[in-house]
Structure 1
Amino acid sequence: MLRVLIADDEPLARRALRRLLAPHEDVEIVGEAESVAQAMELVGSLRPALILLDIEFNGADGFDLLAAMADPPRVIFVTAYAEYAVDAFAVEAIDYLLKPVAQPRLDAALDRARRLLAPPPEAPATLELRAPGRLLRCAPGDILAIEAEGDFSRVHVADQPPLMILRNIGHFETVLPCPPFLRAGRSILVNCARVRSLDMRSRDEVKLTLVGKAEPITLGRAAAGRLKQALAT
């Protein structure tokens, strides 16, 4: 079962989330909180795997809750405020939903939560990467980074030209081991063991250099922040 805590100070919002969660038979709502203090207490006693978390409520915000916990559960933000999206992904939020939330949007967020919270599969010794007219077999550690390109993924392999694979980035996220692979943003998966340097070119542009690849990859501010945080731990 996916144990979920709802944290929102609006009773109508909590009721709406209960209704949206009802079709998911594998979801157990273990509690509801209407303040950061109450959410903190319930996380400690109930140990949910996932929080559906508002950002602004009762004089505090959801980021205060996450900052106060050494090992917080995974979180899906559910909020009326669009301006916190970058900050949300910097704290490794699974998703960021704007109220009012449509059923398909919550369903997609829960699907991603299930994938991320599932026990990690054993990494294969060799991966087969099939591109048009090309087949490459490599060890997972030889993959440097993967960039999302719609339904395709641009796979960067050490000392090889990039391959365009008809697999989305979520597929590789479930196959490759974490660590060392990190989903630094919606469109980038990075092998942290292969990071050579992060070069800040501007406030919103960072160049990522990887061992085994001559040309750097451009990262946005949020992805660079998550990667820096992971490399520092």
Structure 2
Amino acid sequence: MNVLITGGSSGLGSAITKQMASEGKYNVYFTYARSKDKAKAIERQYSNCKAIKCDFKIAAEIEELIGIIPELDIEILINNAYTGQFLDSYFHKSKEFDFMESFSNNILPVIKITQTCITHFRKKKHGKIVTVLTAALVNNPPIGAAIYTANKAYLMQLSKVWATENSKYGITANTISPAFMQTDFTDSIDDRIVEQIISGHPLKRLLTTDEVAESVLFLAKSTQQINGIDLLLNSAVNIK
């Protein structure tokens, strides 16, 4: 099966790419924006992986990716890429431009890529979509994460639409909402805050990227009866 993972060269994306590649039965295509060295290292490690340059800030690269999706015969789409910061500023201090720019960089590319995949999936009468969100949609959102969490909430609702509109075509659309992880995306978080998160965690440790990647793989392999759900990975800190 052919898989497309956006933002698959570093952090959580790298763990997902490697987890899918290790299965041996997937041809994994993954995008990267600036982490060329990391992307090439993954290609060298896994013969069934192919890196594709696609910066969500560059419209031409998005269009190029969209153009080859039918040719690659993608059957599973993992929406993982995110451009920007986890923590930005207080909501009342965030400028209108900041919201618009983040929407343009993080929502519109996902819409275009997913529309293209769904059109392809409908012709094949099967396909799977897994979108990475955040447990902050269930827990109290972190202070300063208004833009990030708003984007993720938008994608959560879109995923429900994808599932509802396409289930009769054998297409599933699910989301996964991981709790805080230590990756390059969250490196700017103060160590004292990280320690507080760990001390309040039932397992007294943070969620790992490998654990999330295993859960993404579960949704990618799951029955068509699992459709329209959000898989929450937060050790029952909050239950929805």
Higher helix share goes to which structure? 2
Bigger-Rg structure (1/2): 1
Sort the TM-score into its range (normalised by shorter chain).
0.3 to 0.5
Q: What TM-score do the two structures reach when normalised by structure 1?
A: 0.40
Q: What TM-score do the two structures reach when normalised by structure 2?
A: 0.39
Higher strand share goes to which structure? 1
